[in-house]
Chains A and B, each alone.
Chain A
Amino acid sequence: MDAMFEGLSLISNGPAILAIFFGVFVGVLVGALPGLSSPMAIALLLPFTISLPPASAIGMLAALYCAGTFGGSITAILINAPGAPPAAATALDGYPMAKRGEAGRALGLATFSSVIGGVISLFIFLLAAPALAAVALQFGPTEYFALTLFALSMLATISGRSAIRNLISGFVGLLIGTVGVQLVTGIERFTFGIAELSEGISFIPVLIGLFAIGELLSQTNAANVAYERITSVVVKLPSKEDFRRVIGTVLRSSGIGTFIGILPAEGSTVAAIMGYNEAKRWSKTPEEFGKGCPEGIAGPEAANNAATGGAMVPTLALGIPGSGSTAVILAALIMHGVRPGPQLINNQPEFMYAIFGAMLLANFMFLGIGFLGAKVFSRITMIPKQFLWPAVFTFSVIGAYSFASSVFDVWIMLASGVVGFLMNRHGFGPAPLIMGVVLGPIVEEKLGQAMIIMDNQWWRMFESPIALFFFLLTAVSLMWPLVRKFRKRAAKAGA
């Protein structure tokens, strides 16, 4: 209980609340703007949080993560252009409802469902993270290595064009993590005589390059789109009738979203789609879906926001991120000298409560923003891309430079951006690469420790039942895309 009060006190001072509000504001802004994403915004803000206390900094980034997921729903409902992929399902019923003159009702339902989903998932996070950490405390280097390998294998199922390319991308990330002097032996690896590479490639410029510069380059030929805007917006709280109608869907979707969020490599987008499908499946009036059905808004919104709380469970309890955004938050934790994993939950539980408090506060803040500022945020899409992207580039350059006052980091950022853009063009996504970069040093450290314990006899790793369990899961997850394909073919052939 003391830890909880201590944690909450870390974020209940003026500057911390201001930082969280700033995170929420930027999150809703970025979420509402098509093209900009939460991982990009978190990566861009990361270097500027260095002067903040760790709890405020992580609180701000976690708040941005929650708010970014919600922000997409505003533009999805008002202009039929989801600002972020998780809001795509919301547009299916949100926009038709807005078009028939009920934009305020749609936004009210989206805001209410998002907040309920977010809050439920945070309480599950509060219960699940310490439980998971307690289990993980039994893990030695071998078990931890097996677990990390399993997390990497889940890259095969992350959204993207191909499982193989996702895996290659993740392994390229692991390779980037090997650059620099190996701490155990003092041997330089892949430094090519460049002094700046001796300390390794800092992940901050890599994150900024992949998420911001890569996206900027892919936007160079995108045309400015003039959206048809719903202008008469007075956001309303759900009526008693609406509340009764959607509460079951909201609770169900919150559970689905939290569970999906906890799974490695699954994210808010998958949660939203599942939330929508389940809402339709359970509905007494499925024929109304796609025409402005309240459950069609409540389902995906509760699920995609619940996924944010769920995704924090493995990130904090195991030190294994489940998505691009949580990989960047994990990088932020490491940058602030906090090593996520079971030791964090057991030795510094106040930190977990601080993050919980920040995310809870963020949910109530965007409740206010959703009700008061939806109209303003929908206008943000009017910013022409000729000015929006130079602003993003400016923040990228300053962010990469200011972290270590090093022009070399700006070069790393540009190189990552250009290479990331080309890789993405050919189907090698940036999210698996980032997860590889962040997990790389952990994988090598645990593998190295395990090999010393096993006296370099790698096959002895299979003697640990927990490690064996994770190795088997890894095999299953690698085979899963193939199994799914054959099952689909069999089902089609049978039909």
Chain B
Amino acid sequence: MTDSSSLAKDGRSDAPLVHRVDFIVTLILYAVSLWLFYVTTTFDEVSALFSTGMAPEIYPQCILVVIMTLGVVIPFEHRMVEGGAKSLDKGREKPLPRNTLLTALLMIVIASQMPTVGALLTVILICLLMPLMWGERRPVPIIAFTVIFTLCIWALFNYALKVHFEPGLLSVFLE
């Protein structure tokens, strides 16, 4: 009953048994799940007074077992789904672009500086640095965007939504 023509058409019949990238994904999934399973065994014991129902580790353990059971299929899924590996690999054919990694890094750096520089300066940093990173080189639009957007954000949150921003480094000037 197998439709061999459609299997051949999307390359499923010629595909290797195990999908390399998905095999790595499964390994990571298993490593994290097994580690978390181990963590559940280290949960404190419930005192007799509260031990009427399910033990606190049972529910997460059940979830982890389900995840690992389902995970078994992943490396072989390219032979099962319609469209084969092509359909599963859509969007991940190429390695992660440099710009994506740099943007993620920039976001982490900005967030780590937030307690020191304060929320308002964080907004200014985002408005200045992110357009630059994303290829904008014209200074006037960047500065205009930074000034107008920061003022709008400040007015909106300070007056309309009554959200207090920690001044951070700006406190020197505000004092």
By a beta-carbon cutoff of 8 Å, the part of chain A in contact with chain B is: 48, 51, 161-162, 164-165, 167-168, 171-172, 174-175, 178, 182, 184-190, 213, 216-218, 220-221, 384-387, 389-391, 393-394, 397-398, 401-402, 405, 407, 410-411, 414, 417-418, 421, 425-427, 444, 447-449, 451-452, 456, 485-486, 488-490, 492-493
9 A-B pairs whose Cβ atoms sit less than 8 Å apart in the complex: A48-B157, A161-B81, A175-B60, A186-B50, A189-B43, A220-B100, A384-B136, A402-B157, A493-B1
Whether A485 touches B82, Cβ cut-off 8 Å, given contacts A190-B60, A385-B134, A398-B157, is yes
A188 to B42, CA, bound (A): 10
A213 to B114, CA, bound (A): 17
Q: Closest CB of chain B to A287's CB: distance in Å?
A: 29
Q: Closest CB of chain A to B59's CB: distance in Å?
A: 5
CB of B172 within 8 A of chain A? Answer: no
Question: Are A162 and B77 in touch, CB under 8 angstroms?
Answer: yes
Q: Which of A172, A216, A397, A452 contacts B122 (CB 8 A)?
A: A397
Question: Are A220 and B103 in touch, CB under 8 angstroms?
Answer: yes
Q: Which of B3, B74, B82 contacts A493 (CB 8 A)?
A: B3
Q: Point out the residues of chain B lying under 8 angstroms from A218, CB to CB.
A: 91, 100
Whether A175 touches B130, Cβ cut-off 8 Å, given contacts A414-B111, A490-B1, is no
Q: Which of B53, B136, B157 contacts A184 (CB 8 A)?
A: B53
Question: Are B52 and A386 in touch, CB under 8 angstroms?
Answer: no
What number of B residues sit within 8 Å (CB to CB) of A?
Answer: 71
Question: Are A390 and B127 in touch, CB under 8 angstroms?
Answer: yes
Whether A220 touches B134, Cβ cut-off 8 Å, given contacts A164-B77, A182-B56, is yes
A386 to B146, CA, bound (A): 12
**B111: nearest residue on chain A (CB-CB)?**
A410
Question: Are B60 and A178 in touch, CB under 8 angstroms?
Answer: yes
**B6: nearest residue on chain A (CB-CB)?**
A492
Question: Are B54 and A451 in touch, CB under 8 angstroms?
Answer: yes
A185 to B55, CA, bound (A): 9
Question: Are B123 and A398 in touch, CB under 8 angstroms?
Answer: yes
A-B contact count (CB 8 A): 167
Q: Closest CB of chain B to A224's CB: distance in Å?
A: 9
For the complex of A and B, the 10 pairs showing the least CB-CB separation, nearest first, are A390-B130, A386-B136, A386-B131, A187-B56, A221-B97, A386-B134, A220-B100, A220-B99, A185-B46, A402-B163
Q: Which of A164, A220, A394, A448 contacts B73 (CB 8 A)?
A: A164
Question: Are A451 and B53 in touch, CB under 8 angstroms?
Answer: yes
CB of B34 within 8 A of chain A? Answer: no
B 107-139 to A, binary, CB cutoff 8 A, 1 in contact else 0: 110110011000100110011001100111000
Q: Which of A51, A410, A418, A486 contacts B161 (CB 8 A)?
A: A51
Question: Are A172 and B135 in touch, CB under 8 angstroms?
Answer: no
Residue from A171, A451, A488, A492 having most chain B Cβ neighbours under 10 A: A171
Q: Closest CB of chain B to A208's CB: distance in Å?
A: 12
B 2-16 to A, binary, CB cutoff 8 A, 1 in contact else 0: 110010000000000
CB of B175 within 8 A of chain A? Answer: no
Whether A387 touches B141, Cβ cut-off 8 Å, given contacts A178-B60, A407-B111, is yes
Question: Are B134 and A164 in touch, CB under 8 angstroms?
Answer: no
Q: Point out the residues of chain B lying under 8 angstroms from A386, CB to CB.
A: 130-131, 134-136
Whether A489 touches B2, Cβ cut-off 8 Å, given contacts A384-B136, A386-B131, is yes
Q: Closest CB of chain B to A65's CB: distance in Å?
A: 21
Q: Point out the residues of chain A lying under 8 angstroms from B81, CB to CB.
A: 161-162
A162 to B70, CA, bound (A): 12
Q: Point out the residues of chain A lying under 8 angstroms from B90, CB to CB.
A: 161
Q: Point out the residues of chain A lying under 8 angstroms from B149, CB to CB.
A: 391, 394
Whether A48 touches B111, Cβ cut-off 8 Å, given contacts A387-B141, A425-B91, A452-B52, is no
CB of B155 within 8 A of chain A? Answer: no
